[in-house]
Structures are given as C-alpha cells and as structure tokens.
Amino acid sequence: MTREEILSKKPLHVLEKIRENLERLNEKMEVMIELQKHDRKGFQPLPDTPLDVMTLLSMPDHLRKTAMTICRCGRATAEEVAQQTSRARAVESAYLNQLVIMGYLKKERKGRKAYFYADRDNQGGT
Amino acid sequence: MGKIIAVHSYKGGTGKTLLSVNLAADLAKHGKKVCLFDLDFRAPSLFALLKMENTTYWLNDYLNGNCTINKVLIDLSSRLQGNGNFFAALANPSTEAIRDMSAKDRKWEMRALGRLLSLRNTLLSDQKFDYLVFDTSPGLQYSSINAIVAADFVIVATTSDRSDVNGTRRMLQELYNLFEKKTGLVINKVLDPTSKSKKEEMYAKVKDIYEVPMLGLVPCFCEILRAEGNVIFVQDKPNHPFTKILDEMVSKIDANEVN
C-alpha cells in the first residue's frame, strides 16, 4: 500500500496515531528535561517505598504539590491535576511521569488519556 | 460540600479533645450534620468521655479495611437539643488495640490515609455531612499527619508554655507550611484574658510568633477542671463563657472567615 493509499483510506486514524506517538515522545522528553533540571540523585526512593505522609514530607516542594493532588483526587489526568495546582499541563505531566519513574505513582492509558494514581491496594502491608 | 476539620497540637494536654467534642457538639447544636472522630489511637478518650457502652465496630476496624464507615458511626443526636445530627466514630481503647495500632507499617498508614480521604465521598458528598471533626494525637506522628493531610482546615491548640510555643511554631513552619494547610490557632488556658488590651496584645503576639490567624483565646476555667470530663459545656452550660467562645469559633468557621 502506497503512502497516498494509506492517507486516502484512513487519514484521520493515521493522523491520530501520529499525534498519540508524538504526545508520548513529548512526555518522555519532559521527564528527561525535568530530571536534568533537578538533582536526579536526590529523587531516588528506596525500593517499594509507599506514597505515605512521611514520603510526601520528604519530597521537593514542586513534586509534593503534584503528589498531594493525586492523593486527594485518587486518580487523575495531567490536565485535571493542572486545574487544581494552577500550573501548566505540560509541567504537571512531567512531574507525574517523574513520580511514576520514582515508583510512587502508577500510570494507565485509556485511549488518548493517561491516568495517574497511587496504587494503595497492591502494596501489601499489615 | 462539607468540610473536614482536624484538631491537633504539638504537646499533649493542650485541650484538643475538649475543643473537638465541644466544637462538634456546637456545630450540631447549630443545626449541622456532624461526626466526631477519635483519631487518637494511642490514648483513645471519646469512648469514656461520651459514656459509651457496647461498641461493636471501631474506627480501627474501618482503617483496617474490616468494615464500612457506616458500621462505625454511632448516632448520638438524641443527646443534643436542636435539630442537628451528631455522630461519633470511636477509637478502640483496649490495650491490645492500642498495641496493634502502634505497630502498623508505612504501607498500612498509606492505605489509612486513602481511607480517611475517601470519607470525603462517602460522608461529605453522598451522606451530606456538613462537618467531620478529627480529634488527633499530639505531635508529629503518622495518624495525626494523615488526619492533617485529609483535612480542609486544621485547628492547632496550644498554651503559653515555652516548650509548647517553641514546638508549635516549628511544627507550623516545617509541617503545615509544606502541606499548605489552612490553619487557625487556639490558645488555651490563658490567664486573665478579659481586658481588651490583653486580648489585642495576645492577637499581635500570635501573628508575630506563629504567622497564622488566631481562631480563639480560651481562658483557664476552673469549672472545666471541676467538671472532670463529665460535662459537654456547649450542651449542658449554654450560658458559660466557654460556650460563648465556642459559639464565636463556630460562626467564624461556618462563615469561612478563617484565613
């Protein structure tokens, strides 16, 4: 199938696919930029550290604000977090992805939307 | 949507429980639907103060994930005058339960925070409670910080004792500021606060030392000591000056005039 044929057959679908991939790339770039901006070493958590109040207290201010919002909402997109914190969506997206890398949050994609949440139920404990 | 108010302090014996019980009862007296929570699992007191008998489910069971919150709530509305609703959720005072709660790990505390936060949906949003009042343990410990994080507004009870002033100031700066909590300060056991100039002096001092708004000034009342925990002042002594002070605090909180 030629490029023209693909475009004429499902142009919208193809464009949406490209946009989705670009968004994912963009998110990865944002995380990399954020990690460069702040001291990466300071963010390394102990393995399997839960997102409890003591962890929240020890976080840098910019991440605490994002993590607290997820704690309150339970589950939210970067857009929803940005509405609560009055910061830009791209900024929250970067912080949320950073919290995922650090192991405090989980990320789940549903269609074009990415939801972030603290996985309270699957973390064991007595 | 209703509000969660946590009552906390740096040191013990500052009057948290006295304030919590009377605040919750006063809100109910003013027609609100209120639930008072005993989150002081190290030294539970509401079971005794409210003269309860035969409690089947405790707040401990809810936080352990063993029952729903509605199994824990006890309807005490009939004890109060007026058309408000007054509920209580009690901490288990048995030594075994206290030992069990003090041995919880971080993951349990994280889930407990989730369960406290979900009261917003179950009680405030679905069951239309106007206020949840959390009575907490003093100082910086898990159950109290969980309660502070879950709350919309925190009342910090303090006294003029040097160690209390110092610790409270540090706690406000290093804990409350980090969580960006709306806070109101209550200075308890104040000697001779009747003169206007003394009051103004205290308000200025509080602003200077703590950098948070003052919610109220409570004098040292011998009647409170004499009552030995047997009296809910806002209910049983409507004309007592302590009741008047609580009424003022309630109207400030209800009119959202705090912060």
- Write down the ipTM of this complex: 0.79
Instruction: Return the residue of B nearest to A61 by Cα.
Output: B178
Burial of B128 (0-12, 13-18, 19+ CB in 10 A): exposed
Helices (H) and strands (E) in chain A, counts: 6, 3
Q: Is B186:B215 a contact under the CB 8 Å cutoff?
A: yes
Q: Is B54:B107 a contact under the CB 8 Å cutoff?
A: no
In this prediction, residue A45 carries a pLDDT of: 55
In a domain, B255, yes or no: no
Q: How many angstroms separate the CA atoms of B22 and B188, rounded?
A: 14
- Residue found under tokens 């290093």: B174
Tell me the per-residue pLDDT of B116-134, one tens digit each, with 9 for 90 and over.
999 999 999 999 999 999 9
Q: How many angstroms separate the CA atoms of B91 and B98, rounded?
A: 9
Question: Which 8-state DSSP code applies to residue B232?
Answer: -
In a domain, B254, yes or no: no
Within 8 A of B114 by CB-CB distance, chain A residues are 71, 74, 118, 120
The CATH code that applies to domain A10-117 is: 1.10.10
Q: Does B190 touch chain A (CB under 8 A)?
A: no
HSE-CB for B173 with a 13 A CA cutoff:
9
CATH of the domain at B228: 3.40.50.300
Ranges of each domain in chain A:
10-117
- Mean pLDDT lowest among A44-58, B55-69, B87-101, B145-159: A44-58
In a domain, B253, yes or no: no
Question: Mutate which of B99, B110, B121, B181 to test chain A, going by most A C-beta atoms within 10 A?
Answer: B110
In this prediction, residue A13 carries a pLDDT of: 82
CA nearest B145: which of B171, B118, B107, B169?
B171
In a domain, B257, yes or no: no
In a domain, B259, yes or no: no
Neighbours of A42 (CB within 10 A): 9
Assigned token pair, A109 = 């994609």
In chain B, the number of structural domains is 1
Tell me the per-residue pLDDT of B143-198, one tens digit each, with 9 for 90 and over.
999 999 999 999 999 998 889 999 999 999 988 988 888 999 999 988 876 777 77
Q: Does A72 touch chain B (CB under 8 A)?
A: yes
Assigned token pair, B5 = 């108010």
Q: Does B97 touch chain A (CB under 8 A)?
A: no
CA nearest B79: which of B36, B110, B122?
B36
Minimum distance, in Å, between the CA of residue B115 and any CA atom of chain A: 10
Tell me the per-residue pLDDT of B33-57, one tens digit each, with 9 for 90 and over.
999 999 999 999 999 999 998 899 9
Q: How many angstroms separate the CA atoms of B101 and A121, rounded?
A: 19
In this prediction, residue B193 carries a pLDDT of: 67
Q: Domain of B241?
A: 3-248
